[in-house]
Amino acid sequence: MENKRKPYQLVSREWKKENTVINLKNTSIGNGNITVIAGPCAVENEDQIFTICEFLSKQNVKILRGGAYKPRTSPYSFQGLKKDGLILMRQAADKFNMNVITEVMDTNLVDEVAQYADILQVGTRNMQNYQLLRALSKIDKPVMLKRGMSSTMEEWLLAAEYILSGGNDKVILCERGIRTFETATRNTLDLSIVPLLKSVSHLPVIVDPSQGTGIRELVEPMSIAAVAAGADGIMVEVHNQPEEALSDGAQSLYFDQFSGLINKLKVSTAAFGRSLDVETEKILS
């Protein structure tokens, strides 16, 4: 689709024709199946994370999301449980044989987060935090790079290029909505970028319809739409008590909504000739 000389190289299809596959315990991202990543916005306490993790485990979800270090717009908002949150996520995930993805906000935290997480996430506010990207290029764990809320595709791919050019080729892209004039949704989920990314880059692409829309009821249709657009997976927020959540309650799914979503996704992905990773055999720990 694009013929002009691209400013990025290692992330491009021209450089590497085959899809990059990220191998994790029990599952892979980018192998053709649709990955489901789920969990609360933030780890709040032991009971919360274990309850959610157990529920997700029964749904055969393989990757638990949750924030331990939280980048909050206000210094007075809940900032996450920090290291305690990391420990709780790891314990819950280990008990239920799941993988952990969580955000790393600073170069000083890379080692600590890498100790507990299976995938390190770079948040939208740090997509162009180049020192952090360089630090992540030196570790041997996958990195999920969320799109900056006002980043063009080219800037996003160049941010990924920082990680690959530093030596870490295990990068996953995550579309999470961009900032526009529209306020009816929290962000504007840019699904068109998904097939465009798949065309110009070999990296797997995850879509986050929870952050992307900010409205719980839109998560199901936009998850299916994301898969229809060619995404390799979705990341959704689920909470045992959304109305009590310390952050992002309005966009977190109730458990029964999540089960319903999985059922709908199974049917749709089958129609697209693909499978959900939650449909693959569960490997007991």
- Interaction of residue 178 with a copy of itself, rule CB under 8 A: yes
List beta partners, residue 146.
Answer: 174
Q: Rounded to whole angstroms, how far apart are CA atoms 24 and 97?
A: 11
- Binding a copy of itself (rule: CB under 8 A), the pick from 103, 190, 232, 277 is 190
Exposure of 141 by Cβ count < 10 A (0-12 exposed, 13-18 middle, 19+ buried)? middle
Residue 254 CB, shortest distance to a copy of itself, in Å, is 14
Q: What is the nearest approach in angstroms of a copy of itself to the Cβ of residue 97?
A: 30
Phi, psi for residue 253 in degrees, rounded to 5 = -80, 145
Q: Which of 23, 45, 115, 131 binds a copy of itself (CB under 8 A)?
A: 131
Question: From CA 139, how far away is CA 142, in angstroms rounded?
Answer: 8
Among 227, 253, 262, 276, which residue sits at the site for a copy of itself (rule: CB under 8 A)?
Answer: 227
Angle at alpha carbon of residue 97, lines to 92 and 103, rounded to 5°: 55
Inter-axis angle of helices 216-229 and 255-271, to 10 degrees? 20
Least distance (Å) between residue 203 CB and a copy of itself: 15
Q: Does 106 bind a copy of itself (CB under 8 A)?
A: yes
Among 25, 72, 138, 282, which residue sits at the site for a copy of itself (rule: CB under 8 A)? 72
Q: Which residues 6+ apart lie within 8 Å of 241 measured at CB?
A: 48
Q: Does 175 bind a copy of itself (CB under 8 A)?
A: no
Does residue 196 belong to the site contacting a copy of itself (CB under 8 A)?
yes
Q: Which of 108, 115, 263, 285 binds a copy of itself (CB under 8 A)?
A: 108
Q: Could you say which residues in the range 238-267 bind a copy of itself, by CB under 8 A? A: 267
